[in-house]
Structure 1
Amino acid sequence: MDSAFGARIPRFEDVRFVTGRGSYVADIEMPRTLYLKFVRSPYGHARIKGIDKSEALKMPGVYGVFTYEDIRDGVANIPTAWVIPNSDIKAVPYPPLANGKVRYAGEAVAAVLASDQYTAEDAVEKVKVDYEPLLAVTTQEEALKEGAPQLHEEAPGNVAFRWTVSGGDVDGEFRKAKHVLKKRIVNQRLQPAAMEPRAALASYDSGRGELTLYVTSQNPHVHRLLLSLILSIPEHRIRVISPDVGGGFGSKIPVYPWEAIACYLAIKTGRPIKWVEDRTENFLGTIHGRDHVQDIEVAFDDDGKIRALKVSSLANMGAYLSTAGPGVPTILFGLIVTGCYDIRAASVTVTGVFTNTTPTDAYRGAGRPEASYIIERVVDMVAQKLKMDPAEVRMRNFIRPEDFPHPNPLGLVYDSGNYQAALRKALEKVGYEELRKEQEKARKEGRLIGIGISSYVEMCGLGPSTVVTATGFGGGLWGSSTIRVHPTGKVQVLTGAHPHGQGEETTFAQIVAKELGVPVEDVEIVHGDTELTPMGMGTYGSRTTPVEGGSIALSARKVVEKARKIAASLLEVSEGDLEFSNGRFSVKGAPTKSVSIQEVANAAYMASNLPKGVEPMLEATTFYDPENFVFPFGTHVCVVEIDRETGKPHILRYVAVDDCGPQINPMIVEGQVHGGVAQGLAQAMYEQSVYDKDGNLLTSSFMEYLVPGAMELPNIETDSTVTPSPHNPLGVKGIGEAGTIASPQAFVNAVVDALREYGVDHIDMPVTPEKVWRVIHGKR
């Protein structure tokens, strides 16, 4: 129904998620299952001189121990799916098990199979590996130094790639500018910590020659494609099922070696193979995120107008190039560093660096948080240098609403925006003018109050495929759907997306309810199974609603057009004589002469009175390839007070005004903003991966890696503006990553604003109480 679109409908999927009735990979049991565990390297860098399996193989219940030599003929190296052009990228071999050398702590050296998980874990301890420790390097700056330990012969100097993009007269704008400011900014390494660690359950039907893999994946069809390449099995012989997934945040995009090994061993043994990682394995082996060191130069004038920007970034890729790893610090970062602003010229140089650390890949926001953090810190530094209000500097530099679509200097064309309206609404909601007065009063009383603004724009809904593949991405990024109206009028939607907590089982149903005029409860969303759903690219990069939702809307409209032909035949009028509203086809001028779409569906099934040329059944399929990205935006404002004695910042207010176009379900939008802000503030305040000089991950458990809970997070006040995308079928834009992209710099800007009397203009994340205390007490 029309009223379904925009309604605050509770999420259908919460019935099973909140009550503990979800079905996760670890919940699935099969007879005769063998359990898989991995021997993982305790060293960041070492040669493997020998592996002794004998003690493990003597243990009751141990089925086998497998090394690289045992599986090399059945499991190929793990491919990189984003090979950046014009970057001299070194796609070094990424073996499924360590091949003669380990390159990061936690790399798998051997696989153990046993009759139960506990026996497998005990057997792992009995496998003796003779290591020859080597010098390790964990930071990109150290890895690039002459004489640094080398990870790969194929990548001299540990350089994975070098990529450059520029636009406008950068040098000319710098010469003309009144001021030039330089700063080194670090975006620290993070560890995804989804509720559900990764898991795989593989089984093989030798009679049919078919492999089935249950796996924690954000993109089952992509998993199937890459596994086909790794295992040399035709795609149509592989079925990938990703049931409920307890959080992904990018960490369940890649195909990991251990999933492929589970598949290979299922084929080799003829028995189901199950692997469920523990949290330490998760922190050691699951991809990490961020880890950029950036040198920034900005040219600007006395009035605060920014002329040009130069960015030089060192991106820590870890020991190998993960599935989408190379695209994150290049395409997803470099093209949008100018943010919301009408900056005439910019250049970005990114050097990807191999180190003895866990490989990095997409983590919520994937490149855009790093870009937004740079430009929003730069704007505040410009304001501080010129003693101007940071809100005013933003207003003076914003792209004007009338200038959309707007080409930025680095090659993107922003579809639509009204950045001024979002900033004004956020300032009004937080009471900005009065807040500044209160801040000055508080300063006189010795209190440290800070106000941080973050105005962001991001790109998501990546497309069209011609553009995406031109960046080196190994596939198109279209959306796919099939809508089938059953004879009873109930609707089934098969989608190539794979929601895993974002709520699209509800929002997709709302789209269909609006388009077809059926009750939202009558719509079922089917996803996550490559045998049931059309080929699709999965869920990540805030693409699901703008791309997959766009596909669903177009499929629904095709259904309506077919139904119109059948309705015209049933009512014995021409198609042009019909109106369609709230699920009924009515004759113009005679509204009582009508037929419901459910009645049309039944007629289409019976097929006894179909118009000539119309086939039975009522369904349609669409593969939607968007003509451009979509560009959500907004402004967040954070207000903090710092305790002078302890240096601890306390968030007093947090206001988020976001624009994702028309909102299908405002409650779900707010939930996504809340979750995103929580994740971004976690980076700003708490989280950081730490390695020692030997490559040991010191933050390998929740005892050392601090993930905030509800008590550590503020109340988040949300609001919105609505600026539709002109090219999207629904006008919608993404929202799932907005909070993570906007919030880190809102907090850091607020802390720096609170500390301005101490002459500080930047503090790297995480902004811990110790760092702040050192500033206050002159021990920085």
Structure 2
Amino acid sequence: MGASDFSKLPHIGEALRRKEDYRFLTGAGQYTDDVVLAAQSHAVFVRSPHAHARINSVNTDAARAAPGVLGVFTGADVAADNINGLPCGWLITSTDGQPMKEPPHPILAQGKVRYVGDHVAIVVALTQQQARDAAELVEVDYDVLPAVVSVADAAANSVAGAALHDIAADNHCYKWAIGDKGAVDAAFAGAAHVTKLDLVNNRLIPNAMEPRAAIGSYNRATEEYTLYVSNQNPHVERLLMTAFVMGLPEHKVRVIAPDVGGGFGSKIFLYAEDVCLTWAAKKLNRNIKWVADRSEAFLSDAHGRDHVSHAEMALDKDGKFLAMRVHTDANLGAYLSTFATAVPTILYATLLAGQYTTPQVYVEVDAWFTNTAPVDAYRGAGRPEATYLLERLVTRCAWDLGLSQDEIRKRNFITSFPYQTPVALQYDVGDYHACMTQAQALADVAGFEARKSASAAKGLLRGVGYSSYIEACGIAPSNIAGALGARAGLFECGEVRVHPTGSVTVFTGSHSHGQGHETTFAQVVAARLGIPVENVDIVHGDTGRVPFGMGTYGSRSISVGGAAIMKALDKIEAKAKKIAAHLMEASDADIDFSGGEFSVRGTDKKIPFGQVALTAYVPHNYPLDKLEPGLNETAFYDPTNFTFPAGTYICEVEVDPATGATRVDRFTAVDDFGTIINPMIVEGQVHGGLVQGIGQALLENCVYDRETGQLLTGSFMDYAMPRADDFPEFKLGHVCTPCTHNPLGTKGCGEAGAIGSPPAVINAVLDALRPLGVKDFDMPASPHRVWEVIQNAKA
């Protein structure tokens, strides 16, 4: 079945209410902290108060003797049991042909701590309060060392004695590049105009509604481990933990990720806490629970973004892009998190062509270790960083040449597909002009000048900002990703189990943590089989029930996970046709299947899907010589290419020059997600992404003290999360160019809002401030920052 045929089926494009919401809204969800096991104890981690220090000694005697304590473990215990460090899932090769520097990442610190919050010891007690009290009794003798927290300081090697790892004395992890440098330099030499821009993509701290949590369990009788964990990809978690860290047979470990209250990338990774609990459960023969409090999450969850870049665009006299070159310094934090190295390289640089016909692009990335929490994928993962840089640069080019923001984009949009970019990716399909046209209509761009005059009458400045983003979703294919450094496959698995009554259970390797999979996947299956949506159940998040899977991230669920389910449904249909043909005494080549019924072509013979399902399990009239009983199929899907959602966002802001306060007055988002299964769920995903992206642009900012490495924004008192009243009512629109290489025609929608919105907001703020002579500033556009640049412009 092709994508165009699929999009016409019942239930596809229908805004069904989410099946899963009833249990969430009535308190019947089951999150990791809701799981209570027999003989369950509690863990608390002793964390480093210093950003960089040698550990001279750790004295646990008083803690071990404290009431209720079952055990206290340190890095020495980890080393004695030969537990390896946490692995990095993506190998980057430097421009000199050498592999990246990959230092050990012990689950409990050995010899040194390298950021505030680094794991020093784990205390296990009968109650959480007893564990907390005992953790206070662990005495650690530190020899404090100089800390480096910014990539500027790391690159300048300006902090003496701040080498984090022996393997990287200069704190440099790798230098990576893509593109034809010679061709780019030649294009710049002959350009009529060159625009240059320096910018920072500020560090963010993910704040899912549910903090990370885990429960480790060990069964002595079967020698099996079970880990309950709030994680986005339980199979990958199990694979990394067994094969690379603990050296366990994979079939002896079960990872269960029940309901997960938001992930946004920060729950993709294998964390030290997960391994510690699994390991300690066997040592103590106890079930052990750990739940992070919010302060702990600020310190220990993997952070996002943190790029410092210089970008240049070469243009001809008519504003056509000739070439672009970029240098980025990326902060990786103290250790290499699971996908950290892929974010500023494969997931960032390859998107810097954007929607434009720039003939040549050259990107160079230097990655650095610093005394900060590890940095990894956060909603968008490299794509927001690329879009922010490119869309800020494109708008600056327009202003330098006296062009409007929309005109320079229109002059450079790609119009013919497939399109091979100069940075590896090939876009299969798109219509960027259509997105721009619809966005301008919805945003009432024609009325902007009147609104600007009305704002001026109130003493306020109004600006408009554009952003035309593209992203790459469903990282693929596995062989190409492997050649680029991936240490795992990037396929997905789907199992469709048809029951004798005709109802269906689907086991998917994707994972839901708020995206509505139980509804969307059920719509796909119901549409294909012609059965009610309520007759389809979706199972995910349990390595003991799902054959295999790579989890959910990178907006891959429907395009990769859904495609795997479609492949399994192809097998179901093929076998069911053979059963139907036998029942109707026809050739299976003459059987059609539509609307939940099998029919013999050219006759009035037909039977319902339910009758075929029952026959498969009650094979009294069945071709047993040709078919096995049952109707249960599994399929794996490895995409042949990325999918490429794209769109244009337009933001209008009002700025109060007296205070610097910025208000988003209007925001319009027009996206091309290909085929849309459930528009209500897509709308919710876009809303959430816009809130996160606008939150970064105006409010959120992670700050470490430059001298001590202390986290200065360690709570919601200092880290400004967006609130509902920070936003207008969003105007959304859609263009549909179905993906050409998956059976659903879908592209993915989960990250788009967070990718396209930050540059639209900042371009709007800068547009408002241009009359004052303000040319630039870095996110977030907080009142103080905006007021400060206004005062500096006046000086």
Normalised by the shorter chain, which TM-score bucket? Answer: over 0.9
CA distance in 2, matches of 1:497, 1:315: 29
Q: CA deviation at 1:46?
A: 0.7
C-alpha deviation, 1:443, in angstroms = 4.7
Match of 1:84 among 78, 92, 100: 92
Q: After superposition, what is the alpha-carbon deviation per residue over 1:17-57, rounded to whole angstroms, capped at 9, x for unaligned? A: 22221101111111212211111011001111111212222
Give TM-score, length-normalised by structure 2: 0.96
Aligned counterpart in structure 1 of residue 34 of structure 2, from 21, 27, 33: 27
Contact 2:674 2:738 in 1 (8 A): yes
**C-alpha offsets along residues 129-165 of structure 1, whole Å, 9 cap, x if unaligned?**
1111111010011012235311111012100111011
Query: Does residue 64 of the first structure (1) align with residue 62 of the second (2)?
Result: no
Match of 1:128 among 113, 123, 139: 139
- Assess if the C-alpha contact under 8 Å between 2:539 and 2:546 holds in 1: yes
Which residue identity does 1:595 align to in structure 2? I
- Alignment counterpart, residue 295 of structure 1, candidates 298, 301, 310: 310
| More displaced 10-residue stretch of structure 1: 317-326 or 434-443 | 434-443
Q: Distance in 2 between matches of 1:695 and 1:493?
A: 48
In the alignment, the residues of structure 1 paired with residue 455 and residue 269 of structure 2 have an alpha-carbon distance, to the nearest angstrom, of: 49
Residue in structure 2 matching 1:690, options 703, 710, 720:
703
- Aligned-partner Cα distance in 2 for 1:146–1:26: 44
CA–CA distance in structure 2, aligned partners of residues 445 and 386 of structure 1: 31
CA distance, structure 1, for counterparts of residue 680 and residue 180 of structure 2 = 40
- How far apart in 2 are the matches of 1:177 and 1:247? 47
Any stretches of 5+ residues in structure 2 without a counterpart? 1-7
2:545 and 2:403 map into 1 onto residues whose CA distance is 58
- Following superposition, the deviation at residue 622 of structure 1 comes to 0.8
- 1:623 is aligned to 636
What are the Cα deviations for residues 154-185 of structure 1, in whole angstroms up to 9, with x where unaligned?
01210011101114720111112111122111
Counterpart contact for 1:319–1:359, Cα < 8 Å: yes
- Runs of 4+, deviation exceeding 4 Å: 440-446
Contact 2:664/2:726 (8 A) holds in 1: no
User: Residues 477-535 of structure 1, C-alpha deviation per residue, up to 9 Å, x if partnerless?
Assistant: 11110101100111010111111111111100000011111111100001000011021
The reply on whether 1:599 has 2:644 as its aligned counterpart is no
Tell me if structure 2 keeps the 8 A contact 1:678–1:740: yes
- Give the one of 635, 643, 646 matched to 2:659: 646
- Displacement of 1:640: 0.6
Secondary structure at 1:223 match in 2: helix
- Pick aligned residue for 1:580 from 593, 598, 610: 593
1:254 aligns with 2:296: no
Which residue of the partner structure matches residue 198 of structure 2? 184
Q: Is 1:167–1:410's contact at 8 Å kept on the other side of the alignment?
A: no
Offset at residue 273 of structure 1 (A): 1.1
SS at match of 1:773: helix
Code of the residue aligned with 2:520 in structure 1: it is T
1:473-552 alignment, distance < 5 Å: 473-552=486-565
Checking the alignment, whether the CA contact within 8 Å between 2:319 and 2:411 is kept in structure 1 is: yes
Shift, 1:710, TM fit: 1.1
Where does 1:335-374 land on structure 2 (aligned, <5 Å)? Answer: 335-374=350-389
1:556-567 alignment, distance < 5 Å: 556-567=569-580
Residue of structure 2 in register with 1:212 after alignment: 226
CA contact (8 A) 2:42 2:289 kept: yes
CA distance in 2 between counterparts of 1:699 and 1:327 reads 26
Superposition pairs for residues 56-455 of structure 1, below 5 Å?
56-74=63-81, 75-86=83-94, 88-148=99-159, 149-167=162-180, 169-228=183-242, 229-400=244-415, 403-439=416-452, 442-443=455-456, 446-455=459-468
Separation in 2, partners of 1:20, 1:441: 47
The amino acid that maps onto 2:308 is V
User: Residue 716 of structure 2: which of 689, 702, 705 is its match?
Assistant: 702
CA drift of 1:288 comes to 0.4
The one-letter amino acid of 1:104's match is Y
Aligned residue identity for 1:642: V
Q: Distance in 1 between matches of 2:792 and 2:575?
A: 74
Question: What is the rounded CA distance, in whole Å, between the counterparts of 1:12 and 1:467 in structure 2?
Answer: 37
SS in 2 for 1:711: helix
Gap change, CA 1:636 and 1:510, over 3 Å in 2 = same
| Residues 569-628 of structure 1: CA deviation (Å, up to 9, x unaligned) | 10111223322111001223333x211111101001112222342111112111011110
Task: State the percentage of identical aligned residues.
Answer: 49
d(CA) in 1 for partners of 2:117 and 2:451?
Answer: 51
- Residue 442 of structure 1 and its aligned partner are, at CA, apart by 4.8
Q: AA paired with 2:29?
A: G
What is the alpha-carbon distance in structure 2 between the residues aligned to residue 404 and residue 443 of structure 1? 44
Matches within 5 A, 1:461-480: 461-480=474-493
Q: Compared with structure 1, are the counterparts of its residues 325 and 386 closer, same or farther at alpha carbon in structure 2 (3 Å cutoff)?
A: same
**One-letter amino acid of the counterpart of residue 133, structure 2:** D
Are the aligned partners of 2:70 and 2:284 in contact in 1 as well (CA < 8 Å)?
Answer: no
Determine if contact 1:330/1:350 at 8 Å carries over to the other structure: yes
Aligned letter for 2:128?
Answer: Q
Match of 2:4 in 1: none
TM-score of the pair, normalised by structure 1: 0.98
Write the distance in 1 (CA, Å) between the matches of 2:258 and 2:738: 33
- How many Å apart are 1:724 and its aligned residue? 0.4
Provide the rounded CA distance (Å) in 2 between the counterparts of 1:71 and 1:177. 59
SS in 2 for 1:120: helix
SS of 1:77's partner is coil
* Distance (whole Å) between structure 2 residues aligned to residue 709 and residue 566 of structure 1: 56
Specify the SS of the correspondent of 2:606.
Answer: strand
Task: Please list every run of 5 or more consecutive structure 1 residues that lacks an aligned counterpart in the other structure.
Answer: none
The equivalent residue for 1:665 is 678
Which residue type is aligned with residue 53 of structure 2?
A
Describe the superposition over 1:109-136 as per-residue Cα deviations: whole angstroms up to 9, x where unpaired: 1111111001111111111111111110
Distance in 1 between residues matched to 2:25 and 2:343, nearest whole Å: 33
Are the aligned partners of 1:604 and 1:610 in contact in 2 as well (CA < 8 Å)? Answer: yes
C-alpha distance in 1 between matches for 2:26 and 2:749:
26
2:301 aligned partner, one-letter code: T
Render the CA deviation track for 1:373-424: whole Å, top value 9, x for unaligned. 0110011101111111110100000000xx2111110110011110000000
Corresponding residue SS for 2:576: helix
Stretch moving more, 565-574 or 668-677: 565-574
- Cα distance in 1 for residues equivalent to 2:316 and 2:21: 52
SS in 2 for 1:4: coil
Count of aligned pairs: 777
Match in the other structure for 1:554: 567
**3-state SS of paired residue (1:290):** coil
* SS across alignment from 2:37: coil
RMSD of aligned alpha carbons: 1.4
Q: Which moved more, 1:554-563 or 1:216-225?
A: 554-563
Q: Is the 8 A contact 2:196 2:393 kept in 1?
A: no
Which is worse superposed, 428-437 or 257-266? 428-437
What's the secondary structure of 1:239's corresponding residue?
strand
| Counterparts of 1:588 and 1:71, CA distance in 2 | 67
Could you list the per-position Cα deviations for residues 70-113 of structure 1 after superposition, in whole angstroms to 9, with x for gaps in the alignment?
12233211111111134530110111111111100000111111
Look up the equivalent residue of 2:220 and give its one-letter code: S
Q: How many Å separate the matches in 2 of 1:85 and 1:775?
A: 40
